[in-house]
Structures are given as C-alpha cells and as structure tokens.
Amino acid sequence: MSTFLAVRQVRRPQGTPSAEDFTVVTESLPALADGQVLVENVYLSVDPYMRQLMNTGEAGTEGRAIGRVVESRAPELPIGTTVFHRAGWSTHAVAAAEEVRRVHQAEGVPLSAYLGVLGGTGLTAFVGLTRIAALQPGEDLFVSAAAGGVGSAAGQIARLMGAGRIIGSAGSAAKVAHLKEIGFDAAFDHRAGPVGEQLAQAAPDGIDVYLDNVGGDHLAAAIDALRPHGRIAWSGAVAQYSSAPPAAPHNLADVMFKSLRLEGFLVREHLDARERFERFLVPHVQNGTVRASETVVDGFENVVEAFLGVLRGDNIGKMLVRVTSTED
C-alpha cells in the first residue's frame, strides 16, 4: 500500500458549512522513519469544535482517531497495537511513537467507547463535573446539549456521583426520550419553547450546577435558575460556532449578585485526570450501568456528512465514523 485517502478543507465557510467546503484527496504514504508507525484507522471522531478550526482552514487535519498499527519502526508499538492519535480525517496516519497513545481496551468495552464515553468526550464531562464545578452529592444539575457526546456522558457520570435532580436540554422529542432512558430526571426540547421557561418548569426550585455546551440563551436561562453560590462549567458554545456571537446574557450581572462561579475549560489541559477517570468509569461501562451513547456512520466517504450532521444535531450521543470493518 502506497497511498491513503484524506479529507482536506478547500475553503472557509461563511456561516453554516457545506460539503463543498471539503474534498477527498489521495496522497502518498511516506516511508517510515525510525520511531514512527503506520496506523490504519478504525474510528474517526467528528466534533462541533472542528467548526472553529474551519475559520483557519485546519478542519480535518486535526481530529481524534483510533486505529491499529500495521507497520512499525517503533519497537514499543508492534504491529497490531491499538492506538489513539490526533492526525485527522484519513484512512491511515503516519505518526511518531510519542504522538500516539496506546489504548488498553478493557474486556467487554467496545473500541468505539474510547473515542466517546471513555475518550476525550467523557473526560470533558468528568473534568467539568469534578474539577471545575465540584458537583457534590445531592446537588441539582442542568446540562445543555445533553443528548450529545459530552452531555450524555455528563448525566450518567453525575448520577454515579450522587447528584440530586439531573435535567437536560436537547433538540428533539426523540432526544428527550433518550435522556430519560439513560437516567435524566427531566428533559426538554429547546426548540419547543423559550429555554428559560422550560428550565424553570423542569427545575422549579433551581439548580446548583450547570454544564454548558451551548452558550447563548441556555447560559442566560441557567444563570436565572442557579441558586446562590452555584457553579457553571463551560465546555462548549455550539450556539455560536456558525453564527455571530450573541450579546452577553442579559442577566450576566447575576453572576455577581448571586456569587456564582463561571469557569471555562479545555480538556487538553486536564489530561492528567485520565487515569482516575478510567478507573472510575470503566467498571460501569463494563456492567452496563453507563451506556456508550453513540451514532456510528459507516464509510470514510461519509466523514464530511457526519461532521455536518453533528452541526445540525443529527446525532444522539457521540458521532463517529467507522472507517474499516475491523472487529473490536
């Protein structure tokens, strides 16, 4: 094999991206240097944050993937090793040993979970709840975009942490039903009416913690609902990725008046939490207490459509592309 397929961005979108912003190219595989491996990708991750990368022309060149080593000049990574890397949307990747991380797949856990509930997605939820918001047993939680990868993980992790009432917003009736299936106490369709009114109805006594994946009207609604000394862990702002940023929430001053704490975070700055995270969550995925909520699209040729689907909200749970039919 001397070539591979890759998705490349060809133009920067104005507003909502389209398939015409990308192309699929055939490129030559370079010869391996000492310390490098050739990885055949099994799963690719497509995530909302990649919309921001499109503003600099980098979408597709950076992206999480899991694959298996098919050629190696790194003794510590022999052929057949399962690895995680961030080399982007392609069928194969050449990477230095220090650029990949060995994946130790636990018995009974699907490989795809290591890009979803046990990957950076789940780690984002875990860090947001434990380190940033410091959710305590009995506290009430609101999660926006709760049927997405981070949100669905957050609700289930919060339940394991002993949270009180867990409330989620989603973008359809089917997603609302899914949230109730995986343990949310209440959920609402944010398209069905004003977010603030629906949150007030779902949490009439208020909330203690808000995990924000959306921003905009969801953030304003959460500020209204938060009790004094409440916390906001802000991990995403999907509401503004393809449009002009909204004006600041009208009630932003309540952050001061209620003594709230709002903190944004990037999971890449908390990778030291991974070992603790996996020790905590793997047993619950193995016994089925935590579901690996995911939407899997088959075929590398469908990478772009899967990405556009994430931005439209087509997915329930983590959106993944299965590149090969390699069994887990």
Residue 52 pLDDT level (bands cut at 50, 70, 90): confident
Buried b (16+ CB within 10 A) or exposed e, 145-170: bbbbbbbbbbbbbbbebebbbbbbbb
Does residue 248 have a pLDDT over 80?
no
Is beta strand 65-72 parallel, antiparallel or unpaired with respect to 36-45? antiparallel
**For the residues 136-144, what does the mean pLDDT come to?**
98
Helical H runs in the chain?
50-53, 120-127, 149-160, 173-181, 195-202, 216-225, 254-257, 274-286, 303-312
Q: What is the mean pLDDT of the chain?
A: 95
The pLDDT tens digits for 56-114 are: 888 888 899 999 999 999 999 999 999 999 999 999 999 999 999 999 999 999 999 99
pLDDT for res 1: 73
Distance CA(8)–CA(54), nearest Å, equals 11
SS3 state of residue 11: coil
Question: Residue 130 forms beta bridges with which residues?
Answer: none
Does residue 142 have a pLDDT over 70?
yes
Does residue 323 have a pLDDT over 60?
yes
pLDDT for res 326: 59
Buried b (16+ CB within 10 A) or exposed e, 265-281: bebeebeebbeebbeeb
**For the residues 187-196, what does the mean pLDDT come to?**
97
Beta strands in the chain (DSSP E): 3-9, 22-28, 36-45, 65-72, 82-85, 92-96, 101-102, 141-143, 166-170, 186-189, 207-212, 226-234, 261-264, 294-298, 318-322
pLDDT for res 327: 52
Distance between the two ends of the chain, CA-based, in angstroms? Answer: 23
pLDDT for res 240: 78
Does residue 123 have a pLDDT over 60?
yes
SS3 state of residue 50: helix
